[in-house]
Structure 1
Amino acid sequence: MSYSIEKVKLSEVEQLQNLAIQTFKNTFKDEEQYTDEDFSHYFANAYSVKQLTSELLDEHAFTYFYKEDEEVVGYFKLNINDAQTEKMGDAHLELQRIYFLPHAQGGGRGKHVFEFAIQKAKELNKIKIWLG
């Protein structure tokens, strides 16, 4: 099985939104502290088309699809400088929102994402990576 990591295009924002909502819900659906109202509120803010478009346009944020045999099975986001969710400084790269569809969890995919993040950190002259 072949895999690829491809930067999400603006024209794919709705596909990203659907994947983000589906994978987040799959990840946290069994947690008792989250209600359907909590999910709806979070999705309306964090995963609105407007918010995701803003993130895709941010020159310090990079969102990628993880594909297997051309099928999108996950996504993740890298942030630098002011796009980081916490102020860690200009030497840092944040790895954020690593989510995969249930059938694509495990099997070394996370390792591929980490290797990609390390390579991007080198390209961007970042010497530290942190998980947001």
Structure 2
Amino acid sequence: MLVEIHKAQLADLEQLQQICVDAYSQNFAHHWHKGGLDWYLDQQFSPGQLRQAIESAETDYYLIFKDKLPVGFCKLGYSKLTEPHELWLELEKIYMLPTEKGSGIGKTVLDMVIQIAEEMGKKELLLYVIDTNQAAIRFYERNGFSLLKKTRMDLPYFKEELKGAWQMMKRL
């Protein structure tokens, strides 16, 4: 199994949009009320939104490939973290196709994100995870993350019983 991860460029826009929509939809379509999934996909993964994110100094998207085929993506965010949190890097999104869960690819991606954070001089890695996603929480805990605080997501159309979230952090 050959895993490759590369930072998305404008030339990757179409491929990035496709894997973002596929990976997110296949994992979380059932979390939304009618019309909500389409709304969210447009808000997060439309060509215009992805173009803006790729061109921005505040975010980086990475495409994840297994044996030359796209199987996931991750997004790093830099803009939300201001004093006293300038030493944090936020892992905003990391989604894999369901067929790749448990394959070790997520760990490979997380290791890359940690390396990027360390190279940037960051001291902590921050992320949010839905509190009902116990598999993801266990994955992050196994990889050194701990609960920082409990919070709630404020997303229209998202099912109320799934809005609980954990803010998790790993010291580097």
Report if TM-score (shorter chain) is over 0.5. Answer: yes
Shift of 1:36: 3.8
Which residue number corresponds to residue 109 of structure 2? 113
Gaps of 5+ in 1: none
Gaps of 5+ in 2: 129-172
The CA distance in 1 between the partners of 2:7 and 2:34, in whole Å, is: 31
Shift of 1:117: 1.0
The answer to whether 1:96 aligns with 2:88 is no
The CA distance in 2 between the partners of 1:17 and 1:36, in whole Å, is: 22
49, 52, 55: which one aligns with 2:50: 52
Alignment TM-score, normalising by the size of structure 2: 0.68
Regions of 4+ moved over 6 Å: none
The CA distance in 1 between the partners of 2:115 and 2:100, in whole Å, is: 23
Counterpart amino acid of residue 121 in structure 1: A
Larger radius of gyration: 2
The CA distance in 2 between the partners of 1:29 and 1:45, in whole Å, is: 15
Alignment TM-score, normalising by the size of structure 1: 0.87
The CA distance in 1 between the partners of 2:19 and 2:112, in whole Å, is: 20
Q: 2:108 is paired with a residue of what secondary structure?
A: helix
The CA distance in 2 between the partners of 1:131 and 1:115, in whole Å, is: 14
**Two-structure CA RMSD over aligned residues (Å):** 1.6
112, 121, 124: which one aligns with 1:125: 121
Q: 1:73 is paired with a residue of what secondary structure?
A: strand
